[in-house]
Structure 1
Amino acid sequence: MVAPFQRVNRSRRRSKPMEIGSWIGNGSPATWTPTINPAMVQDPGFPELLASAQGGVSFADACVLVTGASAADSIGYAVARNFLRGGAKVVITGSRNLEAISATAEQIMAECQSGSVLPAQVNQGDLADIDAFLAGCKEQGIAFSHLYPFAAINHPALFVGIKPEDYARVFAVNTFGVYHLAVRHARAIPRGAAYYVCIPLSPNDGRLQGSGLYPASKQALRPLVVQGQHEYGDRRNGTYTGIDIAWTRSALMSGLDGGVAAAREAGLIVYETSDTADCCTLLGTPAAAAYKGRSLDASGGFGSVEPQVMAEVLKAMGH
C-alpha cells in the first residue's frame, strides 16, 4: 500500500508555490448587521447572540483570515463579505491560482465598498505552504485578530469506496491544516490582544449517509475548540468557538441541491450561505464570549435526524 499512497501524494502537489497578492479597497469604515431569520437557529443561546449585533457591528480594528473563500458560492466567501461590510481588513485564500482568487477579491469588494481584502494562494493541506504564508504575512505586519479556517474538501463516495489516498487528502485539508493554522496563529497573537477563532464542525456522526470521511475530519476538530480555549484562549484573551454546520447550499454541497425540498418536508432546516455566514460572523463579536470552548448549533436538525429519514431524503434525489 505504501507505493500507491506515495504516488497519489506526489501527483497532488501544487505546481506553484504559495503566493500573496495585493490589497484591494480603501479601507472605508462601515457597520455590519446580520440578516438571518432567528427562527432558523435552534440553539437556545442564539437569540441573545443575535440581539447583540442588531444595532450594527464595526470591524474596523479587525484583521480576518478566511481560508477557502475563493469561490463566490462558498461559506468562506460569505463570511469574508460580512467582515468587509463591517470595515475589516480581510485576507482570503484558496488553493486555485492567484489570478482566480484575485478576481474573487475584486468581486467581493465590488459588493461591499468597505474594508479591504488581500487575496492569497495557499494550500491548507500543505503545512509548508501554511508556514510560508504566515511568514509572508508577518513580513507585511499582518496580525490576525480573527481566524476562520473554512477551506475543506468533501468525499461523497460510499463507506466501502474509501481509498487510502482519500484519508490523506481529506484529513490533510480538513483537519491537520486547521490544527496547524490554529497553533501557528495562537503563537503569533500579541499578548493581551483580543482574538477569535471559529472552527467549522459537522454534526454528522454517520447518520447523513455517504462515506463518513468528511464529517469524521470535522468531528476531529472538536478538541481544538475545547482545548484551544482552556489551554490558550483563557490565558491570552482568546475566544475559541465551533459551529455545527449541516446542510448549507454552498459550493461544497451543490450536488445536494436536488434534495432541499425533501429535507424541508422532513422538518429539517437548509441554510443559504448568507445564513451560515451570519452565524459564523457573530462568533467573531464580543458577545461570542458566551460560547467560549463550545459550539453554536446551526445544524438545522441534521445532528439528530434518524438515518431512515435521511435515507428517504436522499432517495428523493435519486440516490
Structure 2
Amino acid sequence: MSVLSGKGALVTGGSRGIGKAVVERLTQDGAEVVFCYEHSEEAARQVAKETGAHAVRADLGDQADLARLFAEAEARLPGLDILVNNAAVTGQMAMADITDADYERVFAVNTRAVFLATQWAGQVMRDGGRIITISTLNTQVPAPGLMLYCGSKGAIEQFAKVAARELGGRGITVNVVSSGATDTDMLRGTNPPEALAQTAAFTALGRLGRTDDLAAVVAFLAGPDGRWVTGHNINATGGMIV
C-alpha cells in the first residue's frame, strides 16, 4: 500500500515548477490531489492527465476564487489531510518603484491566501493532517528588489509557527520548507547562465536544486515519517552558504 493511500491533498500553484513536482510526488505516493493554477491552463491539463490529479483554475488574490477552490477540494477529496501552500508571485522591483497595487497583489497572493488556506485547513482537516508552506531562503538572505517577496514570505513563516501550536493537539503538523535556488523556468528566465553557475558553486552539493528535491522534502513531511516534526522551517537548499 502506498504511504499516502486514502489521503486527500490540496496543492496551490501545481501546474509548473515546485508545485508540479509536489503534485507528481504526492500522487505517486497514493494521495488524491486537487491543485490550482491561474494562467498555465495547458500545463495544468497535462499535469492532471499524467497524475490523475484534479486541476482548478483560481486567482488566489481573489477571495471568491479561493473560497471556490476550497469548496472544490472538499467535494473532490476523501477528506483533507495535506495542504501545500506553494503558489506565490515574486513582485521583483526596486523599493522606490513599488505602488499600492503592487503591494496589495503580492501580499494578497503570498500572504493573505496562505493565511486563509491555513485557517480553512484548521477547520476541515482531519486529525493527524499536514500543513506545509513553501517559503524561500531569501527571507534569511535578502536581496535588492525583493522587499515585497521577502516581507510576504516572512509573514507566512510566522503563521506556520503559531498554527503548529494551535493545531498540535489534533496531531496536525505545520511546517515551512524554504527553497534555495531551484532550477525552474522562472529562475532561468530571470537570471543569466553565469549567475546560475555561481549560485550552484555556493551550495555544498555543487548544483542547483531540482524541483523533485523540494518535492521529496514535502513528501517526507506529508507522510507518516514526518509525524514528529512541526513548527520548523526546513532549509532545503543543498547546503547553500549564507
1:125 aligned residue (61, 75, 85): 61
Instruction: Pick the aligned partner of 1:273 from 211, 218, 222.
Output: 211
Q: Would the alpha carbon gap of residues 142 and 172 (structure 1) be closer, same or farther in structure 2, given more than 3 Å must change?
A: farther
Report what 1:143 is aligned to: 79
Report the equivalent of 1:134.
70
Gaps of 5+ in 1: 1-28, 32-57, 110-115, 306-319
- Cα offset, 1:97, TM superposition: 6.9
TM-score (norm 1): 0.68
Mapped contact 1:98–1:120 kept (Cα < 8 A): no
Larger Rg belongs to: 1
TM-score normalized by the length of structure 2: 0.88
Aligned positions of 1:208-223 closer than 5 A: 208-223=143-158
1:220 is aligned with what amino acid?
Answer: A
Instruction: Tell me the number of residue pairs that the alignment of Structure 1 and Structure 2 aligns.
Output: 237
Q: Does 1:244 align with 2:211?
A: no
List gaps (5 residues or longer) in structure 2. none
State whether residues 203 and 215 of structure 1, in contact with CA within 8 Å, keep that contact through their aligned partners in structure 2: no
Alpha-carbon offset, residue 98 of structure 1: 5.4
Code of the residue aligned with 1:67 in structure 2: it is T
C-alpha contact (below 8 Å) 2:10/2:73 kept by paired residues: no
2:134 touches 2:179 (CA, 8 Å); kept in 1? yes
Q: CA RMSD in A?
A: 2.2
Amino acid in the other structure paired with 2:138: N
C-alpha displacement of 1:284: 0.7
How much does 1:140 deviate? 4.4
Residue 197 of structure 1 aligns to a residue in which SS? strand
CA contact (8 A) 1:241 1:294 kept: yes
How much does 1:99 deviate?
Answer: 5.9
Report the Cα offset of residue 152 of structure 1: 0.8
Alpha-carbon distance change, 141 to 284 in structure 1, aligned in 2, over 3 angstroms: closer
Supply the AA of the counterpart residue of 2:6: D
> For 1:61 and 1:158, how far apart are their aligned partners in 2?
46
What is the correspondence of 1:93-242 to structure 2 with a 5 Å cutoff?
Answer: 93-96=36-39, 101-106=44-49, 108-109=50-51, 116-140=52-76, 142-190=78-126, 193-205=127-139, 207-232=142-167, 234-242=168-176
Residues of 1 paired with 2:86 and 2:186: CA distance? 11
- Residue 296 of structure 1 aligns with which residue? 234
Q: 1:288 to 1:141 in 2, by over 3 A?
A: closer
Shift of 1:251: 3.4
The alpha carbon displacement at 1:189 in A equals: 2.1
